[in-house]
A and B are shown apart, each in its own frame.
Chain A
Amino acid sequence: MDWAMLIEWVVKALLLTVILLTGFAYTTYLERKVLAWIQVRIGPNRAGPWGLLQPAADGIKLIFKEELIPAYADKIIFVLAPVITMIPALIINAVIPWGREVVIFGRKVALYLADVNVGVLYIMAVASISVYGVVLAGWSSNNKYSLLGGLRASAQMISYELALGLAFLPPIMLAGTLNLREIVEAQRSMWYVVYQPIAAFIFLVTSIAEVNRAPFDLPEAEQELTAGYHTEYSGMKFALFFMAEYTKMIAVSAIFASLYLGGYLGPFESQFPWLGPVYLALKIFLGLFLMIWLRATFPRFRYDQLMALGWKGLFPLALLNVVVTAGVLALVG
């Protein structure tokens, strides 16, 4: 293990974290602006030009807020829960490839943090444990609305994870690898969304359910559960939940782009590897815009509708899609 390598990894990890956290701040801005435009309002426009400093103002406000812990809450888990929510949202991004290799100061640097041969499984593993934070927040608050929110979150996750896992399979089968970078490279001739529109659709729907965004935001449903699992949270602890939600939105968009939209690939990328991150950023932006658009358009599902859609609609469809894909691949070779 040489030192330059170690420094390179640390720098890349720090850079990725900073990019993600800045991305989170401006995703909140994007959401407020886009929602405002869709609803024929103006949106944040006071802090800085076009309201661009709004995320900074929000952050400062949250830091100075009082941190409340309910009297009969389970204090250890109450404090740990926001952290447990935030960590998976950050580390899931470790395996996403941002490009191939570039030369910086005469040194070849790969534009990805970890090139793991089970990258897709890593994503599934981290996604599957990301529900703990929400469930524990709901339970430790000692508040019936919070508990209901936490329970809803775990039921929803378990129901939608199956279809989500099955939507991961077609790109793996087409590329013949579990390595995310190789899956992206395999899409040089054609994006997988063209071969697998059904799987891409299922992935989109289930991943929105996994990040608890509208129309699947039942765990926090403000009208019935008064914000659900994070009712009792304030200040920076609340900010961590907020951060986790938006970081997960970015991560999900990046994973969707890598699996179905050719990741960092795009015109002239083979000559100019620096274009890779730009293309991926554009595709992530598309995903974020789509999620915000959906939130502005669709009303929330009722709980039984959510379960029926997951178990009777998406799950059989995803299963059928996998079987058909496997059959076609076996026949064609």
Chain B
Amino acid sequence: MSLMVLFVLMGALALAAALGLLFARNAVYAALFLVLNMLALAVLYLTLGAPFLAMVQITVYAGAVMVLFLFVVMLLGAETLREEGGPIAWQRPLAAILGGVLVGTLSYILFVEATTGKILPPPEDYATPYALSVKLFQDYLLPFEVASVLLLVAMLGALVLVQIERKRRRNDDQTSD
């Protein structure tokens, strides 16, 4: 019972933080709302009996990704920058359509599939570190490796782009001398 109360409270907090993220005028505040959202999600995982996922969620997203976000925002001094010329015209309708698709799919699963008994409750130990690593490193090894290679390629790509920019600048400096 107390778990249910905690679940609802944390769900509300996660929602409120997500709204705060959308409507914050200052990029630092937006980033902090996102951190709050992630922490609330971690507690939700805890109430669902997945402590391993909860801790990883905090370490990876709140602890590493968002620290980098905040670092870049502060380094560039981009806290209060407004986008020039407003948002792209087709962005909002597209976001609305995609959001609608997501809500539709989730409600179909929740209200139709779940009531017909197609969805089974998860096994007892579904979220232990052992069960997760068997899934990641045996059952889904190939997709896992593909994802990691993809990330590596993205990182190398960023480095290469910076190098090209640097070389161009160096050439410009030499010709102006």
Contacts and interface: CB of A to CB of B under 8 A. Distances in A.
A218 to B, nearest CB: 15
Contacts of B70: 132, 135, 154
B71 A125 contact: no
A114 B64 CA distance: 25
Interface string A126-154: 11110110011011000000010011001
B154 interface: no
Interface centre among A77, A121, A124, A150 (most CB of B within 10 A): A121
B129 A128 contact: no
Majority DSSP secondary structure for residues of B touching A = helix
Contact of A132 (B56, B59, B67): B67
A156 to B, nearest CB: 11
Contact of B67 (A74, A126, A135): A135
Given A161-B64, A178-B129, A155 B71 contact: yes
B48 to A, nearest CB: 14
A128 B51 contact: no
A112 B68 CA distance: 34
B55 interface: yes
B98 interface: no
Interface residues of B, number: 21
A128 B63 contact: yes
Q: What interface size band does chain A fall in?
A: 20 to 34
A118 interface: yes
A19 interface: no
Interface string B48-76: 00011001101100111001101100110
Interface in B91-133: 129
A166 interface: no
Given A121-B59, A132-B35, A161-B64, A154 B71 contact: yes
Given A117-B51, A128-B58, A132-B35, A158 B68 contact: yes
B30 interface: no
Contacts of A116: 51
Contacts of B71: 135, 151, 154-155, 158
A125 B46 CA distance: 13
A128 B74 contact: no
A158 B74 contact: no
A122 interface: yes
B52 A118 contact: yes
A124 B59 contact: yes
A161 B65 CA distance: 12
A155 B35 CA distance: 18
Contacts of A125: 42, 55-56, 58-59, 62-63
Interface of B: 28, 32, 35, 39, 42, 51-52, 55-56, 58-59, 62-64, 67-68, 70-71, 74-75, 129
Given A121-B51, A161-B63, 16 more contacts: A118-B55, A125-B42, A125-B55, A125-B63, A127-B63, A128-B59, A129-B39, A132-B70, A135-B71, A136-B32, A138-B74, A139-B28, A139-B74, A147-B74, A154-B67, A154-B70
24 contacts: A77-B32, A116-B51, A117-B51, A121-B51, A121-B56, A124-B59, A125-B42, A125-B56, A125-B63, A128-B62, A128-B63, A129-B35, A131-B63, A132-B35, A132-B67, A135-B67, A135-B70, A138-B74, A139-B28, A139-B74, A151-B75, A154-B71, A158-B67, A178-B129
